[in-house]
Structure 1
Amino acid sequence: MDLMLGFLLAMSVTMALIPPLMQAAARWQFLDAPEARKVHTTPVPRVGGIAMAAGTLLALLLSGEFAQPMPAYLAGVLVLLLFGVWDDRVTLSAGPKLIGQVIAVLFIMVWGDVTIGTITLTERHELPVWVSWPLTFVFLIGVTNAINLADGLDGLAGGTTLLSLSALALLAFTSGTPFVGVVAIVIVGAILGFLRYNTHPARVFMGDGGSQILGFSAAVLAVVLTQDELTPLSSALPLLLLGIPIIDTLMVMSQRMLEGRSPLQADRNHIHHRLLGLGFDHHEAVMGIYFLQACLFVTAWYLRYESDVTIIAVFAGLSLLTIGSLQLAMAVKWRLRPVNPKGSDNSSNLGRLVMWLRAPTRLPRWSLVVIGLGVSLYLFAVSVVSPRPSTDVQIMAAVVALSMLGLMVMRWREADSGWMLRGAAFLALVMAVYFDRQTTTLLEERSALQVCLFAALVIAIVIRFRLASDRRFRVTPLDILVIFIAVAVPNLPGSVISAATVGESIAKLVVLMYGVETLFSAAAHWWRLPSLAAFGYLVACSLHSWY
């Protein structure tokens, strides 16, 4: 089955199943009730894992790939799904949950022959069986539980695992390990379908079944990828690929044991709990953890061929830095938003300055001006020196331009532009970025100017998202994930995607589209500026042979 078809099938099935499962959740008693250590305040259906598992299993079964370790992997997923659904229904103790995990891990190790059999120093060295098997068992069980324990905020476990699986897929296709690439891409599709309903405020949770399947899958794929005899990837690379859940688990369990408590006792000492305690809001905590995992993603790419000793040293250093920073912040009682005794956060000169800048007529409005001018300048620069389009493209540009002119005349006094004008503006952006790749524009002749332009656009977009009071378009942590994958992955040196020289174009298009969407979603007729800029660009394309 085509890889894109598998991705779309998993995503579509997941998205289609979640609404009916949510309706049945109360009747089947699949509800996550609020507790003291949880952040949600109303019961939430925890059926997302069932939908993700269904989408993943269907796509993989239709792939027709049944060579090992696929059958063993699918059997392990089914076992974890059954035990996870059971746990989500009646809340099992740690013993039965561990039994299910052990069965799944033994399936993949014994039947699928997936083990950590080598380490990489200056070259690969075989591990004896008495070391290999316990090491594999502990790693697979540990990561399965690490993702499960990290599932504490809306979109957190799904988003961090999506980043890990994206890294695994990229490494797999670069090094020629199709099993890992196919399974990772399919699960990424399922996660994206789930995150559609799990972004804060979440309407559905994945439950223990979903989080254990994600952890098990990421661990298995990491072992298969780094233990393949035909790939030179370092054996310790999974520490970075799955870094944040591992760091989080090691941190909370170490603290529990130092305090004389059971390492399995639940508490509020996870990274996300600490970030909330330091004054981060829900979105900021999730995106902060995404940022940390994204940094590990990039670090893993650059160190993928290094020795295990180097990777372990880097992982240990990053772990100490992360944990130490959190401990220090809590020890000195630092908070992102300091509050004075009267409950106001603007008692300092800096606080008053921030409040002054946040006024609707200042930074929020100034950011819209910067976005509008930046998009207009880019379209103008491309239109001046772009190559002559083909006749059919010129005709299409003329038709769209005339349609935009009529729509702008009809809606000029209205606050909302309508979806047709918005779609036409996006079409103009796609055409501009495409023709930008074909020639050297005025901006590219002055590379510093282009960097400044897009840096200003990004800063203005971020400011608008954070400060605007009239926005109808908001960036969610899911958007941040999509932006990171779309922008960072194609630009990694040596990536199979970067070889197609599309990385810079994708990055430009993502920034421009978010900028235009920001203008169209703002009040007070801001849609006029991108509409006029897009109209001008389309007119220039249609009349290219005349100038």
Structure 2
Amino acid sequence: MVYLALLLCFVASIIITPLVKKFAIKIGATDKPNYRKVHQKVMPRLGGLAIYISFLIGWVFLRPTDDLSTIPLLVGGLIIIITGFFDDLFELSAKLKFLAQIVAAGIVVIGGVQVDYINLPFGGELHFGILAIPLTIIWVVGITNAINLIDGLDGLAAGVSSIALITISGMAILKGDIYVTSVALILLGSTLGFLFYNFHPAKIFMGDTGALFLGYMIAVLSLMGFKNVTMISLIVPVIILGVPISDTFFAIIRRIKHKKPLSAPDKSHLHHCLLEVGFSHRQTVLLIYAMAACCGLSAFIFSMATSWGAILIGLVLLLAVEVIVEKVGLIGKEYQPLLRFINAKNDQMKDR
């Protein structure tokens, strides 16, 4: 039944996305090129609306239930969708979007989605007490914005989100968590259907409507799947979302260093850096997909290891990420002329 719902959402998203594209163009919800953006022509956004509608279709079909979390999750998601919709149409201020995210996060916290305590790996419990509420809100708002920040190339946010959802649903299946599995899979089907139109060269962008909604849902689902567990297991969602989290972390450091507002845009994100050293648009997206898939696989291994084994895996993972980033940069710089030559030839072949 769950897999049938996934297929239904996938088909619904494929059918609905072109309709949303026409609607976005009609109401003027378009993304215009500028110095910071990669695309060279006006593009319809609001694609996240197709993801959301397809998700609701799957929800009505499957009707996943959780006594505490269902209504808060849907209400919070609706707030995020409305915020993203108006931002795609009118470009809301960062403060207003941030406030809406806090409200949406607060609703699921009131609904019972929060990390109250964790079991320490070598015995005992650590109770967060009143800090559980702000910590949960920070997590939800942080991941929501992390997905939004990587939405800079065709298919990037949708693909990375899909990999995260595959990992979350897979681990939920192993834990026997039917609710998280169901919600993650219908969201996955909706996102993959949209990705059919969003992968390079994209025909429509998801906009903040999609990026904020995916970030919000992934943040909440990851908490629901790993709350009140061991300290080691609590690190699992961090590993699953390693790519957007690390990109957001370094973006914050850059902006603090240069004394800029945290909401200030720049062209120093991971995908910008990979493009700069010579990788093509498609190569950059696929490379980041591979990084996200490695994080997902690492999360599986990490969750099944002993405490000491998990710590060792975590250290190895951090070292591997550092080496990969450095090697990619060196390879890109060393073979930059060759990469640009190959990409130019590919463009010529496409033109013919």
Deviation, structure 1 residue 261: 1.9
1:6 and 2:5 aligned: yes
Contact 1:150/1:248 (CA < 8 Å) preserved in 2?
Answer: yes
Contact 1:50/1:209 (CA < 8 Å) preserved in 2?
Answer: yes
Tell me the secondary structure at the aligned position of residue 16 of structure 1.
helix
What CA distance in whole angstroms lies between the structure 1 residues aligned with 2:92 and 2:308?
39
Contact 1:234/1:306 (CA < 8 Å) preserved in 2?
Answer: no
Equivalent in the alignment of 2:209: 209
* 1:74-85 map, 5 Å: 74-85=74-85
Pair 197,331 (structure 1): closer, same or farther in 2 beyond 3 Å: closer
For 1:15, the aligned partner's letter is I
Equivalent in the alignment of 1:18: 17
Contact 2:232/2:307 (CA < 8 Å) preserved in 1?
Answer: no
What CA distance in whole angstroms lies between the structure 2 residues aligned with 1:305 and 1:26?
48
Question: Once the two structures are superposed, what CA deviation does each residue of 1:223-261 show, in whole Å capped at 9, x if it has no partner?
Answer: 1111166x9981111111111000100011112212222
Contact 1:34/1:40 (CA < 8 Å) preserved in 2?
Answer: yes
TM-score by length of 1: 0.59
1:265 and 2:264 aligned: yes
Deviation, structure 1 residue 26: 2.0
What CA distance in whole angstroms lies between the structure 2 residues aligned with 1:308 and 1:48?
42
Contact 2:48/2:206 (CA < 8 Å) preserved in 1?
Answer: yes
Deviation, structure 1 residue 135: 1.6
Tell me the secondary structure at the aligned position of residue 47 of structure 1.
coil
What CA distance in whole angstroms lies between the structure 2 residues aligned with 1:337 and 1:152?
22
* Count of residue correspondences: 347
For 1:176, the aligned partner's letter is G
Contact 1:116/1:136 (CA < 8 Å) preserved in 2?
Answer: yes
TM-score by length of 2: 0.89
Deviation, structure 1 residue 65: 3.0
Tell me the secondary structure at the aligned position of residue 125 of structure 2.
strand
Which 5+ residue runs of structure 2 have no aligned equivalent? Answer: none
Pair 314,148 (structure 1): closer, same or farther in 2 beyond 3 Å: farther
Tell me the secondary structure at the aligned position of residue 334 of structure 1.
helix
Contact 1:256/1:262 (CA < 8 Å) preserved in 2?
Answer: yes
Larger RCO: 1 or 2 (CA < 8 Å, sep 6+): 2
1:56 and 2:42 aligned: no
Equivalent in the alignment of 1:187: 187
Question: Once the two structures are superposed, what CA deviation does each residue of 1:388-419 show, in whole Å capped at 9, x if it has no partner?
Answer: xxxxxxxxxxxxxxxxxxxxxxxxxxxxxxxx
What CA distance in whole angstroms lies between the structure 2 residues aligned with 1:309 and 1:54?
44
Which range moved further: 319-328 or 16-25?
319-328
* 1:202-281 map, 5 Å: 202-227=202-227, 234-281=233-280
Tell me the secondary structure at the aligned position of residue 141 of structure 1.
helix
What CA distance in whole angstroms lies between the structure 1 residues aligned with 2:16 and 2:53?
9
- Residue identity over aligned pairs, in percent, reads 30
Contact 2:278/2:332 (CA < 8 Å) preserved in 1?
Answer: no
What CA distance in whole angstroms lies between the structure 2 residues aligned with 1:161 and 1:239?
14
Equivalent in the alignment of 1:158: 158
Contact 1:117/1:132 (CA < 8 Å) preserved in 2?
Answer: yes
For 2:173, the aligned partner's letter is F
Rg comparison, structure with higher value: 1
Equivalent in the alignment of 2:178: 178
Tell me the secondary structure at the aligned position of residue 174 of structure 1.
helix
What CA distance in whole angstroms lies between the structure 2 residues aligned with 1:260 and 1:7?
45
Pair 228,9 (structure 1): closer, same or farther in 2 beyond 3 Å: farther
Tell me the secondary structure at the aligned position of residue 61 of structure 1.
helix
What CA distance in whole angstroms lies between the structure 2 residues aligned with 1:297 and 1:110?
29
Deviation, structure 1 residue 78: 0.6
Equivalent in the alignment of 2:291: 292
